[in-house]
Structure 1
Amino acid sequence: MTVHFPFQNSYAALPDNFFARVAPTPVAAPRLIKLNRPLAVELGLDPDQLETPEGAEILAGKTVPAGADPIAMAYAGHQFGQFVPQLGDGRAILLGEVVDINGVRRDIQLKGSGPTPFSRRGDGRAALGPVLREYIVSEAMHALGIPTTRSLAAVVTGEQVFRETALPGAVLTRIATSHIRVGTFQYFAARRDIEAIRRLADHVIARHYPELTGRERPYHALLEAVIARQAALVARWLDIGFIHGVMNTDNTSVSGETIDYGPCAFMDAYNPATVFSSIDEMGRYAFANQPRIALWNLTRFAECLLPLFSDDQAQAIKDAEGALDSFAEAFSNAYQAGLRRKLGLFTAGEDDPALAQALLEAMTSGQADFTLTFRRLGEAAGDGNDAPVRTLFQDPAGFDEWVPRWRQRLALEPQTPDQRRSAMHATNPAYIPRNHRIEAVISAAIQNDDFAPFEELITVLAHPYRDQPVYAAYAEPPQPEERVLQTFCGT
């Protein structure tokens, strides 16, 4: 039985300076840890075939399937504000593209599949821990309804990789609507290759924004469309307490998907200044900074497109600034709408932003868990009992002051308590991939080759908005000794 991938490789048909053709490096003894069977079916693949030894070899990069055209994509990027003119896929190889059962073109990429011309003296490999983290968090984000890359499979290679110590090697099969980044445009802008920028922009329009084809100003419309998607995406991040951790321009997808889960994390106790990433020493990518950084990254994208707007640079800049000015309102509208939903409000009131902000400030001073506070507010909206929410606040004074205002605002809405609770539970998850749970999964896998905790966590997170009494402990925040204060990049 041969594993079949119906590849249609449009990016590999672009000029050679867009990528480097390179095959994955074979590994010693690939073993499939996890196959995302529903995603395989969605992609038009046969999960039974992928679970064979031949399938494991393909998913580990040991065998290249028929029809693949393996490439490492070229891109540049601002990393913590510093521009690097050449980055590229240093440990990832795009096998090819398939058109899924819904007619959507998707990349199939192997992450950790060996060195490429962009590896910059790196080994091109991935350790097991970061592979498990990305699988868990990306699939949790999908279940939460956040646009994201997906994880098709995780494979151990039978080899070790060396970071601070020797670790089991692994490969993640990542799925994306594309892997084109703001940094991809920056790569060609740094080389003043306007024709390549135009070719890339046309490809992105055809692939992600076909409704813009034929517009009088298609590239200006492209900038506006990417701004709108990023504004909506980052608003969703804030609404679920997600911190990307490394919002470099090379980690900003023009499709509007969350991409590159390195030192990412979900907040436990709410604090807008929260930083987990060990490499973000100045808090550039702190939780509350994410909208500002998104706009900064989009400004770099706009700079790349300037030559396509007009031969008159002043006019081109004016056009770009006009588009960028739309970000603040688009983000605010999306974010405030999300907060209203989280509070059980179905209509927009003038004082709603202040009501939401007052709760967030009370949560900060009271060190209340972000996810549990909103989940229990849903229960309180249904049964009128505020006590279970109040217990989450180490200092409940702010909550005590806030809750009568919330009750007064709820009284203006026509929904029944049960309707309100159901709506709030549909937007406030019970389960998120908490850092201490992820670390426990990684520890069991690395130390004992035990993937049962990984499987159980994946099972729980597949239904984040559903009460699961048998897994109730997964909704609880960490005990003080369990808290994870830093997360690390997987390179």
Structure 2
Amino acid sequence: MTATVSLSHRFADLLPEMAVPVRAADAPDPRLVVLDEAVAADLGLDAGWLRSDEGLGLLTGTRVPDGARPVAQAYAGHQFGGFARLGDGRALLLGELRDRDGRLRDLHLKGSGRTPFARGGDGLAALGPMLREVVISESMHALGIPTTRALAVVVTGRAVQREQPLPGAVLARVASSHLRVGSVQFARATDDRGLLERVVALAIERHHPEAEGALGLYRAVIAAQADLIARWMLVGFVHGVMNTDNMTLSGETIDYGPCAFLDAYDPATVFSSIDHDGRYAYRNQPGIAMWNLARLGEALLPLLADDEPTAIERATEALHGFGPRYEAALAAGHRAKLGLAHAPSADVDPLVAEVLGLMEAARVDHTRFWRDLAEAARGDAEAVRGVVLDLPALDAWLDRWRALGPDAAAMDAVNPLHIPRNHLVDEALRAAETDANLEPLHRLLEAVRSPYVAVPGLEAYAAAAPDAGPFVTYCGT
């Protein structure tokens, strides 16, 4: 192993009760499929070396630097409302690296083989779901939404059996950390106050150094998550599996399983094949975030006060800050999307509520409508006519909106032209998995990495989605 790669193991050192040493499964014939050279450079990793046998060994976890201590992380979580002790069943934290700004970043693998937390699973991953995480996380990053990043995807040379044999793959991803609400829940469930204190201390050190104690951390996580969920809602992102083990303490989006972006605007939209009751529907995401944060508050209670009633009072008061923070972030985002960041909220907020109602009634394409609205600001009302059923209501709305002087250029800067549209993601993943054809994937990545600016030759990636009926996503485990 080259001496230029040095992985620290701060998580394993400080939280040994939550770190189980595990070796990655063999990768008999590893081949690089995707490498984000910008992410590699940010971590001080040489892209050429990552393509070598030694580099592929790092990216699959089969050859790690001397002194590295790969571990599967233990955590707990409420999954669809039910509490369970969990952990990385098919993932490894290889260790931490310093990026070029001096920040500590986790280097983490998915699909690296069974761990003690696998619960009967094979611990492996198919190529398609790992590429989905690449596409969606790249889009989120380009949109300015806090997210984990994909460093690389490597096919292992081993088939994984799902409904049919599929190419096995390992995703190497980077995160500010993998501490999550479920990490705190795990520590609380052990009844070990010292462990709970160490989890809180590490989260403050890694993510919220300005926070004072457990209550300060709780307030900081609430604020970060309120801002994050507002950003999701503004671009029509549906996470699909907002369990507490998928909510980070950093405020980054994590675990792109059955996620997707809205095509037709319908707040009741559910994409996940396992979300039968719509718990994680688009419109429910703010409420679920608050529910998850309430579980975080419960886990932190022993550190919030010496007596439980006072601790509950402090946690409740802090949690009440989520709603105003979220609503303020959402309202500011909508004002920007309408090109009215300069206008008084009292004038703009009624317009927002009315246009969302029109969009829902007509089931317009969410992304395309906001983008075309900028053309209406430039005088082309036909850009949005025909997609809303009640034209008189739309015309009246357009008149009131234009009277406030919308800034079309500002709208173009916040309303994306390119998102990972569901049919395009499916097309790219099928081509990669079944035909080893990566061209659709690379074209899609080129588009989503330029969310606000048209790319010559990629006009199809900015078009509204075809009306192909309900879209369903799967966890891909």
> TM-score category by the smaller chain?
over 0.9
**Structure 1 counterpart of 2:14, one-letter code:** L
After the TM superposition, which of the residue ranges 46-55 and 333-342 deviates more from structure 2? 46-55
> In 2, Cα distance between the equivalents of 1:122 and 1:111?
13
TM-score, reference length from structure 1: 0.94
**1:378 matched to 2:374:** yes
**1:235 matched to 2:234:** no
> In 1, Cα distance between the equivalents of 2:48 and 2:417?
33
After the TM superposition, which of the residue ranges 239-248 and 188-197 deviates more from structure 2? 188-197
**Structure 2 counterpart of 1:480, one-letter code:** D
The offset of 1:397, in angstroms, is 4.9
The offset of 1:241, in angstroms, is 0.4
**Structure 1 counterpart of 2:107, one-letter code:** I
User: Match for residue 121 of structure 1?
Assistant: 120
Match among 362, 365, 372 for residue 369 of structure 1: 365
**1:309 matched to 2:304:** yes
**2:224 alignment partner, SS class:** helix
> In 1, Cα distance between the equivalents of 2:18 and 2:220?
23
> In 2, Cα distance between the equivalents of 1:248 and 1:58?
30
- Given that 1:146 and 1:236 are in contact with CA atoms closer than 8 Å, whether structure 2 keeps it comes out as yes
> In 1, Cα distance between the equivalents of 2:266 and 2:350?
17
After superposition, the Cα gap between the structure-2 partners of 1:405 and 1:59, relative to the gap in structure 1 and judged at 3 Å, is same
**1:318 matched to 2:313:** yes
The offset of 1:429, in angstroms, is 0.5
Structure 1 residues 81-117: Cα deviation after superposition (integer angstroms, max 9, x where no partner): 0111x11000110101001001111000010000111
**1:356 matched to 2:352:** yes
User: Match for residue 417 of structure 1?
Assistant: none
- Given that 1:152 and 1:175 are in contact with CA atoms closer than 8 Å, whether structure 2 keeps it comes out as yes
**Structure 1 counterpart of 2:416, one-letter code:** P
**1:431 alignment partner, SS class:** coil
The offset of 1:6, in angstroms, is 2.6
- Given that 1:156 and 1:168 are in contact with CA atoms closer than 8 Å, whether structure 2 keeps it comes out as yes
User: Match for residue 56 of structure 2?
Assistant: 56
**1:9 matched to 2:9:** yes
**Structure 1 counterpart of 2:157, one-letter code:** G
**Structure 2 counterpart of 1:291, one-letter code:** P
After superposition, the Cα gap between the structure-2 partners of 1:39 and 1:385, relative to the gap in structure 1 and judged at 3 Å, is same
- Given that 2:273 and 2:473 are in contact with CA atoms closer than 8 Å, whether structure 1 keeps it comes out as yes
User: Match for residue 37 of structure 1?
Assistant: 37
- Given that 2:15 and 2:199 are in contact with CA atoms closer than 8 Å, whether structure 1 keeps it comes out as no
The offset of 1:17, in angstroms, is 1.0
Structure 1 residues 117-176: Cα deviation after superposition (integer angstroms, max 9, x where no partner): 111111110011100100100011000000000000011111111112211111100110
Q: CA RMSD in A?
A: 1.4
- Given that 1:5 and 1:67 are in contact with CA atoms closer than 8 Å, whether structure 2 keeps it comes out as no
**Structure 2 counterpart of 1:352, one-letter code:** V
Unaligned runs of 5+ residues in structure 2 are none
After the TM superposition, which of the residue ranges 54-63 and 232-241 deviates more from structure 2? 54-63
User: Match for residue 478 of structure 1?
Assistant: 465
Structure 1 residues 418-466: Cα deviation after superposition (integer angstroms, max 9, x where no partner): xx22211110010000110010011101111111111111111111111
> In 2, Cα distance between the equivalents of 1:51 and 1:364?
48
User: Match for residue 90 of structure 1?
Assistant: 89
> In 2, Cα distance between the equivalents of 1:225 and 1:15?
22
**1:256 alignment partner, SS class:** coil
> In 1, Cα distance between the equivalents of 2:18 and 2:383?
55
User: Match for residue 259 of structure 2?
Assistant: 264
After superposition, the Cα gap between the structure-2 partners of 1:136 and 1:244, relative to the gap in structure 1 and judged at 3 Å, is same
> In 1, Cα distance between the equivalents of 2:393 and 2:68?
58
- Given that 1:3 and 1:54 are in contact with CA atoms closer than 8 Å, whether structure 2 keeps it comes out as no
Alignment of 1:403-482 (within 5 A): 403-410=398-405, 420-481=407-468
Identity %: 49
Match among 292, 301, 305 for residue 297 of structure 1: 292
User: Match for residue 187 of structure 2?
Assistant: 188
**1:489 matched to 2:468:** no
- Given that 1:26 and 1:63 are in contact with CA atoms closer than 8 Å, whether structure 2 keeps it comes out as no
The offset of 1:4, in angstroms, is 3.3
> In 2, Cα distance between the equivalents of 1:267 and 1:23?
39
User: Match for residue 107 of structure 1?
Assistant: 106
> In 1, Cα distance between the equivalents of 2:17 and 2:8?
20
After superposition, the Cα gap between the structure-2 partners of 1:362 and 1:447, relative to the gap in structure 1 and judged at 3 Å, is same
Structure 1 residues 49-106: Cα deviation after superposition (integer angstroms, max 9, x where no partner): 112232123212232233421000000100000111x110001101010010011110
> In 2, Cα distance between the equivalents of 1:310 and 1:6?
40
The offset of 1:311, in angstroms, is 1.5
After superposition, the Cα gap between the structure-2 partners of 1:18 and 1:395, relative to the gap in structure 1 and judged at 3 Å, is same
After superposition, the Cα gap between the structure-2 partners of 1:15 and 1:240, relative to the gap in structure 1 and judged at 3 Å, is closer
- Given that 1:429 and 1:465 are in contact with CA atoms closer than 8 Å, whether structure 2 keeps it comes out as yes
- Given that 2:23 and 2:62 are in contact with CA atoms closer than 8 Å, whether structure 1 keeps it comes out as no
**1:73 alignment partner, SS class:** strand
**Structure 2 counterpart of 1:439, one-letter code:** D
| Residue correspondences, number | 476
> In 1, Cα distance between the equivalents of 2:191 and 2:444?
47
The offset of 1:352, in angstroms, is 1.7
The offset of 1:190, in angstroms, is 1.6
- Given that 2:258 and 2:474 are in contact with CA atoms closer than 8 Å, whether structure 1 keeps it comes out as yes
**1:351 alignment partner, SS class:** helix
> In 2, Cα distance between the equivalents of 1:356 and 1:42?
39
User: Match for residue 21 of structure 1?
Assistant: 21
> In 1, Cα distance between the equivalents of 2:3 and 2:48?
9
After the TM superposition, which of the residue ranges 466-475 and 135-144 deviates more from structure 2? 466-475
After superposition, the Cα gap between the structure-2 partners of 1:3 and 1:237, relative to the gap in structure 1 and judged at 3 Å, is farther
- Given that 1:138 and 1:261 are in contact with CA atoms closer than 8 Å, whether structure 2 keeps it comes out as yes
> In 2, Cα distance between the equivalents of 1:65 and 1:198?
30
- Given that 1:127 and 1:490 are in contact with CA atoms closer than 8 Å, whether structure 2 keeps it comes out as yes
TM-score, reference length from structure 2: 0.97
- Given that 1:188 and 1:197 are in contact with CA atoms closer than 8 Å, whether structure 2 keeps it comes out as yes
The offset of 1:395, in angstroms, is 5.4
**1:24 alignment partner, SS class:** coil
User: Match for residue 285 of structure 1?
Assistant: 280
User: Match for residue 69 of structure 2?
Assistant: 69
User: Match for residue 157 of structure 2?
Assistant: 158
**1:277 alignment partner, SS class:** coil
